[in-house]
Structure 1
């Protein structure tokens, strides 16, 4: 696991950098940058104030920024901007603004960098700048990509691509395609990334641009490695290595050796060790300690997987020293986790715990969720092995919190991909509709010509003409019915999309505002402990409800947008399903001071979709806990009714606003109850009802009125032969999960 995390982090660091690699390589081959800066200073002091002088100032500003002298670089670039504006020299203005933006970006001031790069692009478009607009667009794309603003990055790169294609600048077009492929890779759209990168390779070969070809091949290998397509990644890197000799890139070979070694390690090939050593030798020759430390960390993972623990510990220790000296915190946390794993496998729990705690502290400081989860999980296991269950529980909760955060991020990305897929499907349907309309119009014209020819044939063809007209009318009516059906389907899809976006916009905004308010309170004057605990409880409850909403929303979106697949009916133990849901929600009940009790005997077997039943149970229990005040009770019981099992979830909470006799659940017409935290969308009940009906069951509700509690009844078909000893669960007492009031 550590090896995969290391590779993902390395791939993310390299992504999109290949777009600018050619310029950096050319800069690396220039002799003595400080001497060049001194020469440019002398030339700038002696030149007349003309366009050549603005070009000299811009070049001097860029070189100073490369040397890290940002204050002087910005002073020079502002001089170039003012002089270019006085001379009406559009190229100089765009170049100076772009250089100022890059300078602020390299220094970490991203908001100011964004303002300047946006100004450079806007000015270039306004003045029809023909030389530096493309570079300004690429610089803005690089900034947006580094901030995960993929919409801005895609827009900028695609605009740069159109700019270079319109001018026949194919080398820059291929470089732009390389950057576009990196953006798609960062978004997780791997098929589109590979297609764009292969187009970049084709253009680079066609125009003999070896550097861009090498960059694009390296990015293709990175994509295959992210997708765990190790055989294809191996073929790509084997194709890349011979081409590295054609480019003046001293870092290219050791990087490629490192990537190839990781692929070979995944394929369990012994050649991996040789390529790790080649990569180490290359970076040591370049005197790049941070890169040496990263390669050593990957090599140590390989040694640990091979069972060579002593060598792995030596490699980890050396990597740790190099990475700490280079202030590479992310890789340092990963190496600390590797050392903890090595010591744990070697039977040295004290050293393992020491390094795991160091990894945990560093990961918390830099908000590195994967390493935080790994370190907390290992510390929990070590504490449990030593008998310190209280500490083990605390570490387990930290690991679970990190896992929940990673899960939330994955869900958010999944929602984005669903939206993108939906938009793409709409675009395809629109094109198909246009094609069908054009075909229908062409067919109508051909039929009318045929009618005119029939009329011209004379009276002898009148009967045949009547038959043809009747057939045409029938065809038109049939086509009209088809068009109406397609229009109704499109209207339904559009309504589903509107409802999905309405739920996202309405119900996700409130918890996000709560989170923003809580953060503002924390950044202000210190709060009293009791008030801080109160706000923390409220925030935790809001986030829990938001996670439930996201889970329900994704299930509903998949059912609505992709179509519901047939239910996967299986023989399922209701007692086991209820026990799973109760165990999952027991901490919530305990925190709210509620009692959660189940009375199932274990012989309740139904025929239903297991995933659907578990989702419905989680929603019903979660609702019951949410609407029951502290000190109340939630009870789950089962009863056999003819050919079905009836499961009742009853709470002693506030009940419905009006007395409601037992009736089938209709979420849209159900009176709304006021929850203790943020209000929900009611989507959980809608989704539960739909899933139950797909399993040929029914969901009903009853309430005696305000303060009398609410009971939800879940009826599912009983499994055939459920009374047979083969299907009956072992005798057990009723399971009870309770908390202190």
Structure 2
């Protein structure tokens, strides 16, 4: 249904509050009234809530009212998060958390931890999200009110579900439902029942799911909550389709679409299109199924294209700004050189005039002039070197731009053209259901590869144009390895490749965390000190590369071996290996790429990006390869100082 903030009760109507605001004389009173007004707008108008938060921050800062500043940052964090501006939201939430901890305001600190967890979940950084939700839960248990505990259980369940750990998600959601029923909290009841219905369907229990969802629907209708009703109807449709009750499921999906359009909920509109397409496909009404599928794709593309267009505009703006700055630097240096040349000429003229009147001082002025000329020549040489350096930087940026345009024009155009061809085939009414299923699966594989290419492309472009800031901290490398192995298991199974982690043998399916903690067979934590996001990208690229060049029956293994000062991580495959005459190009060229064993294509960015990220984190990377027998990539990472 969606992640919940602890404070969800609607404040009194702002008309009354604005009247109180006019009568308030103390800045602290005015700041508190602004907070109450902002609370009214939290879940209905993010821009208005943000405006109230900014006004509150101005007043609280002027009055040195620290608690008011913390509440203002809390409001602004919620508003930015609702608008999808995650960096701004995190900045405000972290500022609010620091102030609340300084003041010892435990309840406010819990709210901040929960809000930060929501932002990290939206950003798909699930380990950090779970950490902050657990901190919020620990704080909520210090208070007699159980509402905060229930909401944090719901948020933990949502995050585990997003990470595909459904058993843990159901455990926490049932715990939240028990508390919500005990305290008769309508919001908690509706959210936990709706989530339980969704998770039960996804876990293969659609009949049990419908029982939960019917209760959730009754609560949402009584509360006139169209968002909640749309969510429930979407999940009821999915449960009916799992039971092959297609007519009933289509009816529920149509209701969800109507409710979502009332409140302009784009995500629920897209979800309703998806369920309607699935339902009509189940009835073999493929024209209608394809129509709703096209609507879903069009809506999804509009949301996706807006985000990617924003990122590309940001990259282009960064390049243009650097280019303009370089041009300004060149103009400034030319002006300085001209001024210095004029000064030198002026000095020489003074010297000639003085030599007529004071011949006796001629030698003195001559020495002085020669010294000045030497200094000017040295300065000119330094400036020329600086100009040359700037020119080389501009050439490098231009090469980055050309590489970006090349990849966008070739590597992205090709999969998009392929997808267009798939869609054209699907529009043919003569295709059978099996053919539609086959082409849909191919479309999914194509989209997955394109998504990986975009991730590498954007990360590499940012590193080349803006530089990479390394945020090193201790983390368990085993968790990152296990997370990446789960992500590629389906692809390994499709190519019939054995995937082995730390010598545990081939994996037979995704490992889901228990609701009560890690399984007894989980590897002991192995800490490294590095930037977790960067190392996650290194491991993902190396594993994807190993799968790409492995054949049916080959083995891909991932091992982490601790040492005294560092940990060595090895990704080894028994695939086709790297030709000897190509091995010196692996890390030095971003244009070198070859097709995989299933004709997979690449951009040439992955391995050069891996080398850059490992070295940024104080490690080294290398490889050993024998054509026809496989390749092993090994990189090292430093251990924490206290380890």
TM-score (norm 1): 0.46
Pick the aligned partner of 1:679 from 608, 613, 622.
622
Matched, 1:23 2:23: no
Whether the 8 Å CA contact 1:320–1:332 is kept in 2: the answer is no
Distance 1:113 1:287 in 2: 23
Pick the aligned partner of 2:108 from 132, 140, 144.
132
Whether the 8 Å CA contact 1:204–1:213 is kept in 2: the answer is yes
Alignment of 1:108-119 (within 5 A): 108-119=84-95
Alpha-carbon deviations, 1:679-719, whole Å to 9, x = none?
32669999999xxxxxxxxxxxxxxxxxxxxxxxxxxxxxx
Pick the aligned partner of 1:413 from 457, 480, 483.
483
CA 126–421 in structure 1, closer or farther in 2 if over 3 Å, else same: farther
Match of 2:55 in 1: 76
Alignment of 1:503-542 (within 5 A): none
CA 285–22 in structure 1, closer or farther in 2 if over 3 Å, else same: farther
Alpha-carbon deviations, 1:374-393, whole Å to 9, x = none?
935715968999xxxxxxxx
Pick the aligned partner of 1:104 from 75, 80, 98.
80
Pick the aligned partner of 2:17 from 40, 52, 55.
40
Alpha-carbon deviations, 1:580-626, whole Å to 9, x = none?
xxxxxxxxxxxxxxxxxxxxxxxxxxxxxxxxxx963x24x446685
SS in 2 for 1:132: helix
Shift of 1:141: 1.5
Distance 1:398 1:279 in 2: 27
CA 236–310 in structure 1, closer or farther in 2 if over 3 Å, else same: same
SS in 1 for 2:105: coil
Match of 1:192 in 2: 168
Pick the aligned partner of 2:254 from 277, 283, 293.
277
Shift of 1:20: 3.5
SS in 2 for 1:251: helix
Shift of 1:140: 1.5
Distance 2:169 2:59 in 1: 38
Match of 2:276 in 1: 299
Alpha-carbon deviations, 1:433-469, whole Å to 9, x = none?
xxxxxxxxxxxxxxxxxxxxxxxxxxxxxxxxxxxxx
Shift of 1:416: 7.4
Whether the 8 Å CA contact 1:184–1:192 is kept in 2: the answer is yes
Shift of 1:407: 8.2
Matched, 1:202 2:188: no
CA 383–240 in structure 1, closer or farther in 2 if over 3 Å, else same: closer
Whether the 8 Å CA contact 1:552–1:683 is kept in 2: the answer is no
Match of 1:158 in 2: 134
CA 255–75 in structure 1, closer or farther in 2 if over 3 Å, else same: closer
Distance 1:85 1:186 in 2: 41
Distance 1:93 1:233 in 2: 44
Structure 2: 5+ residue runs without aligned partners?
A: 309-407, 430-439, 456-479, 488-500, 503-509, 563-571, 587-620, 633-643
Match of 2:157 in 1: 181
* Count of paired positions: 428
Whether the 8 Å CA contact 1:161–1:173 is kept in 2: the answer is yes
Match of 1:230 in 2: 206
Distance 1:304 1:421 in 2: 32
CA 278–191 in structure 1, closer or farther in 2 if over 3 Å, else same: same
SS in 1 for 2:26: coil
SS in 2 for 1:556: strand
Distance 1:141 1:173 in 2: 14
Structure 1: 5+ residue runs without aligned partners?
A: 1-13, 31-35, 334-363, 386-394, 431-489, 516-540, 562-613, 631-677, 690-741
Matched, 1:378 2:422: yes
Match of 2:557 in 1: 556
TM-score (norm 2): 0.52
Whether the 8 Å CA contact 2:31–2:59 is kept in 1: the answer is yes
Whether the 8 Å CA contact 2:623–2:631 is kept in 1: the answer is no
Match of 2:380 in 1: none
Match of 1:219 in 2: 195
Shift of 1:429: 6.7
Shift of 1:173: 0.9
CA 271–57 in structure 1, closer or farther in 2 if over 3 Å, else same: closer
CA 544–560 in structure 1, closer or farther in 2 if over 3 Å, else same: closer
